[in-house]
Structure 1
């Protein structure tokens, strides 16, 4: 197992101490209830150096270590997705995409700040009329002299209200060639012509999801991810190694939520007495917890196996889709099963379980739905179309 690495065991212990010190349960509940982003906690996390686990040392990072990054996400998500998701926005959205696709000038200007936890990036991919079929985006950009004008609306743009940049996928030519004429732009949300409109949602509170509306936003050539020669190269950038990490980061969130749910359900089963004995002595409860722990272990093994493949730059598209499918569906199943172990308390905000459930059931949808992952898996297996 991945924790056979001494450095990851030490890292995990360090993050757990951070969680206990900076993220007590009562604060995690308040962030969720009030839907607030704990920036002070994020800043403290940046000072630990863990934001740089996706960034080479030459750009101020700790060196790219995908399994270690997953361990950090897992431990943060065990307590609060309001902290885990902004970590992802920095370490994964910013770190991975800039390292894999950024120009040298973009890397040198932005990555050292990302490594310090000073910058957050959001994804602007989906649109009101475009979900899984991203090659058909309607947001468009056009050149007018020395400037680029961007117009359109992005939906489910999580964290855009706190981000310093949005990775915006836009159509930059005729759409007849589905995977051509697409470009990714780095857009500061505070730019003239940008409107960020929050959308209410079920789980993963503390980090708003938003509409990001672009009305002839003026950009320079330096806003193109990778530089001017990457005009119309956005799909190749989108479908690269950073995409595999996106699937895994959500899987790590799923694992953290499942672990937290199992721990709380186990403790409740040991201490809640009904019919003269702890409910953990009743077969129905014993079996529910046994199933949940078994599934959680399988999630862990899949996640860190896929993470090591990505780390080693081995083919991982199949495994990352399998991991996203299994872990995110698994977290939904595990948290619901653990909620039932706790009965009415599992529905109440007196406990954390209802929050775990709300967070977990969104994961099979976000970042590429389970059905899209099944399509990816079938395609990689070369099933007949």
Structure 2
């Protein structure tokens, strides 16, 4: 097995690092975090690199499916700020990949070119106040009244709804007891009459604000059904498509980016911070912490890109993506917390980025399917082997 990166991937990573250094300096990133502001002007510059086209076929202006390249972009952006990494995911993956796999021809023609040029972002409207991992228990309801769809219900933790073009909403379109046979995916504009968006003030993931969304008699045309009218009550197979596997990898890539940033900062600080007449990096206890952080990060990265290579080729990868998501997010959290211990009291104040790494990393084992859900997935996958 050859684990070396191809020349194209190395060049992509180098391009992203130059972009981050120029357009996402640390002082500006800290401001986005403090203000919880989406830096759209930076996102538009990112689109100019063409990387939003890594999930879009060439016929729509993209570069063709490249899941490994997509993960590289997420990792390198997250290494500096989730305020740009998250909207990249919401555009390239949530909008691009889902519409490629599930959209009608008209939806592809209208949406995919806008994904590539950076003018199209989706928010995921799946989680609800009483529904998390059990998506088949969805309670937000939609009904057809002639050529109009009417939606009522609520979504929670709908990140980016206030700055997105559509909420990619999973809704109930029949009796609750039928569960899997009456779910439908809709494209709901956040500006549509009857849509109310309220911010949620979370601990981390700042810069791409998460929200509560309420739908009250929201009226939509039939063209809002993802996949067309024939997919009314037919969303469950789309929910279980390869996009769900890639979503796990997106979160893993963010965790690796944050973990790499934490390790980099801890390494630098250990070489500079003087105690008892020498740099703290000369003490074996600190050296062991750094070695453990490096080892966890290396293992997480191998798991991520192995799973991404399977997803890239449309090969079965449910077990591999769950293992990557579980291991990488728990490793990212552990690395960030270890980085904080190396910084000591300074790791607890906002003058240092490590404080943000900790806040952001704590969310990653939860979003995109919790660690408990991933363990369930892995066990069920093992039983099928």
Task: Give the 5 Å matches for 1:248-263.
Answer: 248-263=249-264
- Which residue in the other structure is 2:285 paired with? 284
| Deviation of 1:221 (Å) | 1.1
Divergent runs of 4+, >6 A = none
Give the secondary structure class of the aligned counterpart of 2:204. Answer: coil
- Which residue in the other structure is 1:323 paired with? 324
CA–CA distance in structure 2, aligned partners of residues 99 and 156 of structure 1? 25
- Which residue in the other structure is 2:374 paired with? 373
Give the secondary structure class of the aligned counterpart of 2:326. Answer: helix
- Which residue in the other structure is 1:51 paired with? 52
Task: Give the 5 Å matches for 1:88-103.
Answer: 88-103=89-104
1:214 aligns with 2:220: no
**Runs of at least 5 residues in structure 2 that lack an aligned partner in the other structure:** none
Give the secondary structure class of the aligned counterpart of 1:218. Answer: strand
Give the secondary structure class of the aligned counterpart of 2:163. Answer: coil
| Deviation of 1:178 (Å) | 2.1
Per the normalisation by structure 2, the TM-score is 0.98
| Deviation of 1:113 (Å) | 0.6
- Which residue in the other structure is 2:238 paired with? 237
| Deviation of 1:43 (Å) | 0.5
| Deviation of 1:382 (Å) | 1.5
| Deviation of 1:275 (Å) | 1.1
Give the secondary structure class of the aligned counterpart of 2:305. Answer: helix
CA–CA distance in structure 1, aligned partners of residues 138 and 248 of structure 2? 21
- Which residue in the other structure is 1:198 paired with? 199
CA–CA distance in structure 2, aligned partners of residues 117 and 207 of structure 1? 15
- Which residue in the other structure is 2:342 paired with? 341
CA–CA distance in structure 2, aligned partners of residues 61 and 29 of structure 1? 32
Give the secondary structure class of the aligned counterpart of 1:339. Answer: helix
Per the normalisation by structure 1, the TM-score is 0.98
Give the secondary structure class of the aligned counterpart of 2:178. Answer: coil
Give the secondary structure class of the aligned counterpart of 2:181. Answer: coil
- Which residue in the other structure is 1:119 paired with? 120
- Which residue in the other structure is 1:313 paired with? 314
CA–CA distance in structure 1, aligned partners of residues 372 and 67 of structure 2? 25
CA–CA distance in structure 2, aligned partners of residues 330 and 161 of structure 1? 31
| Deviation of 1:2 (Å) | 5.3
Kept after mapping to 2: 8 A contact 1:3/1:9: no
Cα displacement string for residues 169-207 of structure 1 (whole angstroms, at most 9, x for unaligned residues): 000011212211000001110001101111110111011
- Which residue in the other structure is 2:143 paired with? 142
Residues paired across the two proteins, number:
384
CA–CA distance in structure 2, aligned partners of residues 274 and 308 of structure 1? 45
**Runs of at least 5 residues in structure 1 that lack an aligned partner in the other structure:** none
Q: Residues 125 and 258 of structure 1: is their aligned pair in 2 closer, same or farther, counting only changes over 3 Å?
A: same
- Which residue in the other structure is 1:184 paired with? 185
| Deviation of 1:383 (Å) | 7.6
